[in-house]
């Protein structure tokens, strides 16, 4: 008789930078160097910024759409372009987005 190991549930968390504009799946985070306690924390893979997390990517994009609907046209498209990219702030992201072509 063989026993199978149950599959690990997929981690659907979506994360975004506290000190940068990076946003992506939790699967793409980096880890900080171990602190005094030996623990490593998830961080932006580009600049090391700590991260906020959401239950799923759908919530992230719903929030982006609400922000766009509140008077920020083009925000969702810009953030889709920025997914996985790191900028120190929204102004730098906007500048890079406008200069992309």
- How far is 8 from 81, CA to CA, in rounded Å? 31
Domain ranges, residue 30: 14-98
Residue owning tokens 């987005």: 97
> How many structural domains compose the chain?
1
Q: Would you say residue 3 lies in a domain? A: no
* Tens of pLDDT, residues 8-47: 668 899 999 999 999 999 999 999 998 899 989 999 999 9
- Whether 5 shows a pLDDT value over 70: the answer reads no
* Tens of pLDDT, residues 45-91: 999 999 999 999 999 999 999 999 999 999 999 999 999 999 999 99
């Amino acid at each position: 008789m063989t026993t199978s190991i149950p599959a690990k549930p997929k981690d659907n968390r979506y994360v975004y930078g506290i000190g940068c504009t990076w946003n992506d799946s939790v699967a793409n985070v980096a880890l900080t160097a171990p602190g005094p306690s030996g623990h490593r924390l998830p961080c932006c893979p580009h600049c090391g910024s700590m991260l906020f997390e959401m239950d799923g990517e759908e919530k992230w994009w719903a929030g982006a759409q609400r922000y766009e609907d509140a008077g920020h046209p083009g925000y969702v498209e810009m953030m889709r372009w920025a997914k996985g990219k790191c900028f120190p702030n929204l102004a730098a992201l906007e500048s890079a987005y406008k200069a992309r072509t």
